[in-house]
Homo-oligomer: A and B are copies of this chain.
C-alpha cells in the first residue's frame, strides 16, 4: 500500500540507481500523463471510443499536429488502440486499452484531488501574485 513513507523510500531507491530516466517510472510515466493533452484525451476516451475529428471537437484548442502526436504517444505506450475502418472517407477510432483503463482509477483520484483543491490553489495563486511574501524569517 503506497503512502508517503514508501514514496520517500522509493525516491531514495531511484536516486541510488542514478536516476536513470529510462529506469525511473515517475519520469517515464508522469511525463506522459502530464503531457498537457494526454490525460485530457484519456479522460475523453474513458467515456467512449472516439474518432479523430470527434476528439478534435471534444478538445477544442488542440491542434491537429498535437492531437496526432499525443495519440501516437498514447498508442506507443499501449494505453490506447487505433482502429482503421476503410470507409469512404477513412475513419479511425481510438479506444482505451485494458492498460489504459487500468490507469483511469489513479488518474481519477488525482483529478478528484484537483477539483477538491482547486479553490484553495486559486486562492494561493491570487495571494502570491498580490505580492504576499509570507516567507518565514526564522530567528531573525
Chain A residues close to B by CB (< 8 Å): 2-4, 6-8, 10-12, 15, 19, 21, 25-31, 33-36, 39-40, 43-44, 46-48, 58-61, 75-79, 81-86, 99, 101-115, 117-118, 120-121, 123-125, 128-129, 135-140
Contact = CB atoms under 8 A, between A and B. Distances in A.
A117 B99 contact: yes
Give the number of times this chain occurs in the complex, counting copies: 2
A138 to B, nearest CB: 5
The interface residues of chain A, by DSSP majority, are classed as helix
A106 to B, nearest CB: 4
Contacts of A60: 19
B108 A2 contact: yes
A26 B40 contact: yes
